[in-house]
Structure 1
Amino acid sequence: MDYLPIFLDLKYKNILVIGAGDVAFNKIKLLLSTHAVINIISKNLCSEIKSLLSQKKVFWISQKFKTSYLKNVFLVIAATNNTELNKKIFKKCSEFKILVNVVDDQSKCSFIFPSIINRSPILIAISSCGTAPVLLRLLRQKIEAMFPKRFGNVAKIAGQFRSIIKKRFSNLLERKRFWEKLFNSVFVQNIINGKEKEAICNLEKMIDKPDALIGEIILVGAGPGNSDLLTLRALQVMQEADVVLYDNLISQDILNLIRRDAKCIYVGKRAGIKSITQEKIIKLLIFLAKQGKKVVRLKGGDSFIFGRGGEELEAAKNANINIQVIPGITAGIGASAYSGIPLTHRNYAEGVVFITGYKCMKNIKNNWPILSDSSYTLVIYMARLQALEISKQLILHGRLKSTPIAIISQGTTINQEVIIGRLDEIDKIFKLIVSPSLLIIGNVVALHKKLEWFKDFSNTQNIKNISSII
Structure 2
Amino acid sequence: MSHDYPVMLKLAGRNCLVVGGGAVAERKVASLLEARADVTVVAEEWTPVIEGLVKEGRVRGEKRAFRETDVKGSFLVFAATNRPEVNENVCRLASSFGALVNRADRPEDSSFTDPAVLRRGKITFAVSTGGASPSLAKDIKRELEQLYGIEFEQAAEFLGEIRDLVQKSGLPSEKRHRLLREIWNEIGMKGIRSGSPEEWKLVVRRLLRIEEER
Question: One-letter code of the match for 1:112?
Answer: T
Cα drift, residue 212 of structure 1: 8.3
**Residue range with higher mean Cα deviation, 204-213 or 22-31:** 204-213
Could you say which residue in structure 1 is the equivalent of 2:173? 171
Could you say which residue in structure 1 is the equivalent of 2:129? 128
Give the Cα–Cα distance (whole angstroms) in 2 for the partners of residues 41 and 134 of structure 1.
Answer: 27
Give the Cα–Cα distance (whole angstroms) in 2 for the partners of residues 94 and 110 of structure 1.
Answer: 8
Cα drift, residue 194 of structure 1: 8.9
What are structure 2's unaligned runs of at least 5 residues? none
- Which structure shows the bigger proportion of residues in strand conformation? 1
- Which structure shows the bigger proportion of residues in helix conformation? 2
Aligned length: 212
Cα deviations across residues 308-327 of structure 1 (Å, max 9, x unaligned)? Answer: xxxxxxxxxxxxxxxxxxxx
Secondary structure at the counterpart of residue 12 of structure 2: coil
Are 2:16 and 2:77, in contact at CA under 8 Å, matched by a contact in 1?
Answer: yes
Could you say which residue in structure 1 is the equivalent of 2:143? 142
Q: Are 1:107 and 2:108 an aligned pair? A: yes
Counterparts in 2 of 1:329-344, with a 5 A limit? Answer: none
Could you say which residue in structure 2 is the equivalent of 1:25? 26
Are 1:187 and 1:203, in contact at CA under 8 Å, matched by a contact in 2?
Answer: no
Q: Which has the larger radius of gyration?
A: 1
1:42–1:114 Cα change, 3 Å: same
Are 1:190 and 1:196, in contact at CA under 8 Å, matched by a contact in 2?
Answer: no
Question: One-letter code of the match for 1:105?
Answer: R
TM-score w.r.t. length of structure 1: 0.41
Question: One-letter code of the match for 2:52?
Answer: S
Secondary structure at the counterpart of residue 161 of structure 1: helix
Question: One-letter code of the match for 1:51?
Answer: G
Are 1:187 and 1:202, in contact at CA under 8 Å, matched by a contact in 2?
Answer: no
Coordinate RMSD, CA, aligned = 2.7
Are 2:127 and 2:137, in contact at CA under 8 Å, matched by a contact in 1?
Answer: yes
Counterparts in 2 of 1:143-158, with a 5 A limit? Answer: 143-158=144-159
Are 2:108 and 2:131, in contact at CA under 8 Å, matched by a contact in 1?
Answer: no
Give the Cα–Cα distance (whole angstroms) in 1 for the partners of residues 71 and 209 of structure 2.
Answer: 55
Are 2:54 and 2:60, in contact at CA under 8 Å, matched by a contact in 1?
Answer: yes
1:204–1:212 Cα change, 3 Å: closer
Counterparts in 2 of 1:54-453, with a 5 A limit? Answer: 54-168=55-169, 169-172=171-174, 174-186=175-187, 195-210=196-211
Give the Cα–Cα distance (whole angstroms) in 2 for the partners of residues 32 and 51 of structure 1.
Answer: 14
TM-score w.r.t. length of structure 2: 0.85
Give the Cα–Cα distance (whole angstroms) in 2 for the partners of residues 177 and 131 of structure 1.
Answer: 43
Secondary structure at the counterpart of residue 101 of structure 2: strand
Give the Cα–Cα distance (whole angstroms) in 1 for the partners of residues 195 and 23 of structure 2.
Answer: 36
Cα drift, residue 78 of structure 1: 1.2
Cα deviations across residues 57-82 of structure 1 (Å, max 9, x unaligned)? Answer: 21113522222222221100111112
1:135–1:71 Cα change, 3 Å: closer
Secondary structure at the counterpart of residue 85 of structure 1: helix
1:11–1:209 Cα change, 3 Å: same
What are structure 1's unaligned runs of at least 5 residues? 214-470
Give the Cα–Cα distance (whole angstroms) in 2 for the partners of residues 2 and 190 of structure 1.
Answer: 35
Could you say which residue in structure 1 is the equivalent of 2:49? 48
1:18–1:137 Cα change, 3 Å: closer
Question: One-letter code of the match for 1:158?
Answer: L
Give the Cα–Cα distance (whole angstroms) in 1 for the partners of residues 12 and 104 of structure 2.
Answer: 22
Residue identity (%): 26
Cα drift, residue 161 of structure 1: 2.9
Cα drift, residue 16 of structure 1: 0.5
